[in-house]
A and B are shown apart, each in its own frame.
Chain A
Amino acid sequence: MGYPHPIHSSETPVLSTHFGDAPARTVAGWQERGGYAALKAALAMAPTEIIDTVKASGLRGRGGAGFPTGLKWSFMPTGDGKPHYLVCNADESEPGTFKDREIMRWTPHALIEGCAIASYAIGAEQCYIYIRGEFTEPWSIMEAAVAEAYAEGVLGDHAMGSKHRIDMVLHRGAGAYICGEETALMNSLEGKRGNPRIKPPFPAQAGLFGRPTTINNVETLAAVPHILTRGAEWYAGLCAGNKKSTGTKLISVCGHVMKPGNYELTMGTAMSELIFDMCGGMRPGRTLKAVIPGGSSVPILNAAEADTCILDYEGVVEAGSMLGSGGMIVMDDSTDMVYEIYRLAKFYAHESCAQCTQCREGTAWTTKILARILAGKGTVEDLDLLLDLADNMTGKTICVLSDSCAAPVVSGIKKFRNEFDDYLTAKKAPVLVGI
């Protein structure tokens, strides 16, 4: 299978095996493909055994931060007598990222199964899946799948015929990027404004409705059944030697490559292989200029850095950026970097929840300065100002949206200074943009 194009021979299809395979969307179809065996097995295991297996697999959060999943689960209290919650973060709104959408579109039961196993492992009888509001198609597919899972006894008071209750509720977001941040998401689920909360307390202590809560990304949870079925060792072995980054990662590639789409890679694959081999390289006559490797929030890599970048958590950090959510934006030499950075800043300015002063005002001000530069009215001092604002916006706020706005500005000015200079010296014709 594979969607929208067949699976490339260099891919390692695990999560994406059934992308494009519409019959996999039913309970029966999922079972025919080996689904729900892991859940059945899990419900016969001790929760700690599951957590230990996930720990041993080396699975790390695919939502952006890369936090070890088993370790996160182990933070949940045991025997506290309180209700626990599992929350699945399906708000996928990071520009450049579109992997969770495909998981939900093609393999809704993979997600339901992963959520059910995780719920059981952390002692939660209730799971919430928070789906991005704009995801109309994934929403209706997930809705149908959850209804069928109940009808077939996969979920409910006796999940898979066991004595364990696992309930699952879908919640639809209302279009705010910030609601993907885990604590904002919990506020939103509680019916409040989607503002990130200050930590501590951490979700495992007091999360959704003040109860111990684990929150994981769609891709993280969808990987869990495979780990249980095929073993932690198998999963841990999916790497290129770096034991800290294991398994497969869906990389959503967009931009100026011949074949954009989701590619599932073993951790440790070279970025150049992904771009130039699997994605069919750049458009004819064009050369690579820049890559944003992990969703819009991470620093920009230039062509040289991208060329040697290894796609795993540590590899991308070494190259000067972060793996993040795995949303890879590839830009060729036709790209106006100043405009791109402006466009990113405008996104963050629009999406700032407005709590923190630096973020609320800094994102908007940054956008205005970039627009002024594009309009040919910038000065050299504007670059210093942008860098100083970025410094003032980094590491000082409740969540990292503020830092995310600053990151591409800083890396952009550092790595593509000549493009800024072209606007400052009127070498390039002004571009008028709205702010």
Chain B
Amino acid sequence: MSTDCVSVTIDGCTIEVPKGTTIIEAAKQAGVLVPHYCYHPSLPSPAVCRMCLVEVEKAPKLLPACVTAVADGQVVHVHSPSAEKARESVLEFLLINHPLDCPICDQAGECELQDYVFYEGRSGTRYGDYPKRFNPVEVFGPDVLYVPNRCILCTRCVRFMDSVADAPVLNVSERGDRAFIGIDPDHALDHPWAGNVVDLCPVGSLISQDFLHKARAWDLDTTASICSGCSQGCNVMIDTRDDVVVRIRPRANLEVNRHFMCDHGRMHYRWMNRGDRTEAPLVREGDRLRATDWETALEHLAKSLGDAGPDVVLLASANVSTEGLGLLKRLVGDTALATTVLVPSGPEEPLVGIPDLALRAERVANASGARLLGYDTDWKAATGNLSRAKRVVLVDLPLDAELQRLLDESHARVVVLGTVDESWSEAVDLVLPMSSLVEEDGTFINRDGRVQRFQAAKGAPGMARPAWWVAAAAWARHAPDRTAEETAAEAFLTVASQVPSLDGITHGTLGFGGRRVVAAGAVG
């Protein structure tokens, strides 16, 4: 055993942990959950809820596992009768004033009060018929509602705003059982990261108006993904109900976003449910675009690019996956006039309490991936090339007036890989329906050079396919000895083999925590 480690036995399981580890964290490693409310690994611990009391041999009293550091040779009983009685009583105390309005509470099904009462609580009440504490619902901010009757005063929300967001607008007001969470009357809960209080709240006391009564937790499917709102690459969960995205929540990744995400990313999901999607490939037939099958469409694509030779400009969104960008680049070849991604920007909004966490100025997820693959980000230079181009390939770009004007002036023929229906101009020869990033598997590379996987959270509409699939299938048509990649993982292998810093990495080895492949700043 190293001198920096101590040995501790928790519910019969002996483990070694670094000195200074709290009992609650050590217990996690021993596979024992210590029920808790106020404790949160990304917040300072005030030990106020007293839910995590455990029995420690030789200690005169039960100890709060969240703030008690393990000592060498310590024997801890999380499930001793005295510890269980103490926790049962905390649950009872929390419930006497709790409205039990679970049937209309958004938190039901993912509520830590429900869960722990189910594990360790009493089945009946001893409170009798006293009226419960009542305070009316308050609007705390643009999205956050406070339902004080459900509040268990764990103070996670207060501590987040104080210590993490550095915007101390919440407090505990009043004393005794009259206490509630108060808000500075001159401020709203409108910090760019304020939405995290909804996730932090263990009960349904702080709730999102955006998600209000939208779905029951148990009806949701949850998918691991990466936020596409900026180049930070916050790990997220996408919650869908019947293939409709209803909510995005942060997914813990201690090296990227800990347990948080910003409101920009959180609210940036309605586009995922758009109904006006291109669902079938379209080819030009005289003055109209006619729906066709993929065979025909891919044939057209291969031929169109073959005819153009090197006079191709590839313009893509920097929210296209690494797989898509890599195979598209292979498709248009190294001689293309330009391969460029669009990188929109906005103000940077840091979460000051967490080092290296901010809503980044680059408001796309894969600009670093694009740079690593040799894409340019100089949009002006790329569009300047349009006049020389014979073909322009547009990948997942909104066709705004400016782009339309440039295309009109260029006389180039246009191929579109897109997700939404537009009124395509006469210059467009081919429209290929693309799945959006929530409908496919893939990877992004964040500003710190970290490759991170995302998974398909819903089905793609109609005949839409991932960009990598389109690029691979068209590329394979150029020569009989070529075989197209059939999965995102295969596509990644192909791309990785071309980029030294990605060499040897696979979707499998990445897992869902991701891996940093190049030094921060090298691709940022």
Residues of A within 8 A of B (CB): 176, 178, 193, 198, 349-358, 360-365, 368, 372, 385, 389, 392, 395-398
Contact = CB atoms under 8 A, between A and B. Distances in A.
Given A176-B175, A198-B67, A358 B153 contact: no
B474 to A, nearest CB: 63
Top 8 A-B residue pairs of the complex, sorted by shortest distance between their CB atoms: A392-B89, A354-B179, A361-B93, A364-B177, A355-B48, A352-B176, A395-B61, A198-B47
Contacts of B48: 355-357, 398
B47 A398 contact: yes
Given A392-B86, A395-B61, A354 B126 contact: no
Interface string B58-99: 000110100100000000000000000110011011101100
Nearest to B91: A357
Interface of B: 46-51, 53, 61-62, 64, 67, 85-86, 89-90, 92-94, 96-97, 126-128, 130, 152-153, 155, 171-172, 174-179
A360 B92 CA distance: 12
A364 B46 contact: no
A358 B172 contact: no
A198 B38 CA distance: 13
Given A356-B48, A392-B85, A365 B175 contact: no
Contacts of B127: 365
Nearest to A194: B175
A343 B174 CA distance: 20
Contact of B46 (A198, A349, A350, A385): A198
Contact of A358 (B46, B90, B126, B128): B90
Contact of B86 (A365, A385, A396): A396
Contact of B176 (A364, A368, A395, A398): A364
B90 A360 contact: no
B93 A357 contact: yes
A397 B50 contact: yes
A357 B126 contact: no
A347 to B, nearest CB: 10
A357 B152 contact: yes
A38 B108 CA distance: 67
Given A355-B153, A361-B93, A364-B176, 9 more contacts: A198-B46, A352-B176, A354-B174, A356-B48, A356-B50, A357-B51, A357-B153, A358-B50, A396-B61
A360 B176 CA distance: 5
A372 B126 CA distance: 14
Nearest to B85: A392
A193 B85 CA distance: 31
13 contacts: A354-B174, A354-B176, A355-B48, A357-B94, A358-B90, A360-B176, A363-B177, A392-B85, A392-B93, A395-B61, A396-B86, A398-B47, A398-B48
B46 A355 contact: yes
Given A357-B90, A396-B62, A368 B49 contact: no
B62 to A, nearest CB: 6
Contact of B50 (A357, A363, A389): A357
A396 B176 CA distance: 17
Contacts of B90: 357-358
Contacts of A178: 175
B93 A358 contact: yes
Contacts of A397: 50
A363 B152 CA distance: 16
Given A354-B153, A396-B61, A361 B46 contact: no
A361 B47 contact: no
Contact of B126 (A193, A363, A385, A395): A385
Tell which of B46, B92, B96, B176 has the most Cβ of chain A within 10 Å: B176
Nearest to B158: A193
B350 to A, nearest CB: 25
Tell which of B89, B155, B177 has the most Cβ of chain A within 10 Å: B177
A397 to B, nearest CB: 6
Contacts of B174: 354
A360 B155 CA distance: 14
A311 to B, nearest CB: 27
B239 to A, nearest CB: 30
A398 B63 CA distance: 10
Nearest to A178: B175
Nearest to A371: B130
Tell which of A357, A365, A397 has the most Cβ of chain B within 10 Å: A357
Contact of B175 (A198, A353, A368, A385): A353
B96 A361 contact: yes
Contacts of A389: 89
Contacts of A385: 126
Contacts of B47: 198, 398
A294 to B, nearest CB: 21
A362 B95 CA distance: 11
B152 A354 contact: no
Contacts of B67: 198
A351 to B, nearest CB: 7
Nearest to B67: A198
Contacts of B51: 357
Contacts of A352: 175-177
A224 B446 CA distance: 65
B399 to A, nearest CB: 56
Nearest to B127: A365
Contact of A360 (B46, B126, B153, B171): B153
Contact of A363 (B64, B155, B176): B176
Nearest to B37: A357
A184 to B, nearest CB: 11
Contact of A350 (B64, B85, B96, B176): B176
A392 B84 CA distance: 11
B96 A365 contact: yes
Nearest to B126: A385
Contacts of B178: 354
Contacts of B130: 368
Contact of B172 (A193, A350, A398): A193
B93 A351 contact: no
Contacts of B97: 361
B141 to A, nearest CB: 22
Contacts of B86: 392, 396
A359 to B, nearest CB: 9
A178 to B, nearest CB: 8
Given A355-B46, A357-B152, A392-B86, A349 B176 contact: yes
